[in-house]
Amino acid sequence: MAEFTTETDQLTGVRHRTISVDGLEIFYREAGPADAPTLVLLHGFPAASHQYARLMDRLSDRVHLIAPDYPGFGYSSAPSSSSGGGDFVYSFDHTAEVIEAFLVTLGIDEFFMYVFDFGAPIGYRIAARHPNWIQGVVAQNGNAYESGLGPNMQPVVQYWINQEEMEPVIRGALTAEATRSQHLEGTANPESVDPDVWTLDQHWLDQAGREQIMLDLLYDYQSNVALYPAWQAWMREHQPPMLLPWGRNDQFFPEAGARAYLDDLPSAELHLLDAGHFVLDEQLDTVVHLIDDFIGRHSH
């Protein structure tokens, strides 16, 4: 029997909940009517479900929204990493297994999914195992192609080749300066970006044990590249409805990665936006409109 605790944000109506899954406490945000189409929001690095709070508020009168924090992120359990002396393996395979179990526990087996950054390899693992669960995909700077590995990903690629030598460089990507840069690089109007977004991301990165967790996951990101052909085959076979609201100035997952989807999904709806990596920081209104229209056309 699943155990829940619940609190509700009185300003937005977003419910904050914690549920036990596989011995972990998984925190998630939920909003909207339960009988509306469901959108599962899978967050990126170095964020957590808080990155979707404003989007959830804007869609909550007509969409059922679920946004979990992965193990090691946000308010969810963060057991010590196996590489740091603990017994929990932080990998994309394991994270996807936990989020899949989370969805099963909640009885969610038909949904749209929003995948961004780390959320893409987690979501695509689940979709490849359960293609009948997926009503449609919103891929916002969520990569599935080698051509989409941009210049800011190249130090990570080198980390896979020479882990020990590159580790100090990767640790540098976990600093406050680097987190701020992720949010501001490529933005059209940097002054419009709320500094709370990177401050909150960094708060969680600075928690004890989190640095090693992120190092583990960034090293394991190579497992995602190995699975790109399988995910592309899933797209070609099942032709899921796909919306691509993509920040064209993103140096992690640039425009080439967005355009690559069109080879496998000719009907995918590509919208190149004048934004960087975290599109919702400054293009919230545009993305709300696109999602509203997309879900409206593809719900059944």
Which strands form 269-273's sheet, in the order they lie side by side? 4-8, 15-21, 24-31, 64-68, 38-42, 111-115, 134-139, 242-247, 269-273
Confidence of residue 162 (pLDDT cuts 50, 70, 90): very high
Q: Do residues 39 and 66 touch, judged by C-beta distance below 8 A?
A: yes
In the block, residue with structure tokens 């979709």: 127
Whether 246 has a pLDDT exceeding 90, the answer reads yes
pLDDT of residue 86: 87
Whether 1 has a pLDDT exceeding 80, the answer reads no
Whether 199 has a pLDDT exceeding 90, the answer reads yes
Query: Is 50 annotated as catalytic?
Result: no
pLDDT tens digits, 95-105:
999 999 999 99
CATH code at position 287? 3.40.50.1820
Q: How many domains does the chain have?
A: 1
pLDDT of residue 7: 53
Whether 115 has a pLDDT exceeding 90, the answer reads yes
Neighbouring C-alpha atoms within 13 Å toward the C-beta of 141: 27
pLDDT of residue 90: 98
Q: Which domain holds residue 40?
A: 4-298
Closest CA to 54 of 31, 84, 26, 83: 31
Catalytic residue among 50, 64, 183, 277: 277
Per-residue pLDDT, averaged over 169-191, amounts to 97
Confidence of residue 280 (pLDDT cuts 50, 70, 90): very high
Whether 130 has a pLDDT exceeding 60, the answer reads yes
pLDDT of residue 14: 86
pLDDT of residue 11: 43
pLDDT tens digits, 33-58:
999 999 999 999 999 999 999 999 99
* Total Cβ atoms within 10 A of residue 130: 14
